Amino acid sequence: MEGELQNALGRNLRTFREAEELSQEAFAERLGFHRTYMAGIERGERNLTLRSVEKIADKLKIEPLLLLEGPIPRG
């Protein structure tokens, strides 16, 4: 169970990025992060604050809880 939310967040962000057909670099720039930091988030290696999750969700124009839930449907 440890790290489950970090992994879910990373998977969901990767799903959003791939749906937009963006590279990690372009997606990171859109969200205001460096590419290597974004890669760490996608791999579930970064432990973000709730404030960071809220900021990311705001930039993606979605509810923050969607980033932490089980797989997001592609679309």
38-75 in b/e form (b: 16+ CB < 10 A) is bbbbbebebebeeebbeebbeebeeebeebbeeebeee
The domain spans of the chain are 4-64
pLDDT, greater one: 69 or 52: 52
User: Would you list the DSSP string of 12-75?
Assistant: HHHHHHHHTT--HHHHHHHHT--HHHHHHHHTT-----HHHHHHHHHHHTS-HHHHHSSPPPP-
pTM: 0.85
Overall CATH class of domain 4-64: mainly alpha
* pLDDT at 75 (0 to 100): 56
For residue 41, what is the DSSP state? Answer: H
Residue 16 has a pLDDT of 92
Position 18 pLDDT exceeds 60: yes
Q: Among residues of the chain, what percentage have pLDDT more than 90?
A: 83
Q: What is the pLDDT of residues 37-64, one digit of tens each?
A: 999 999 999 999 999 999 999 999 999 9
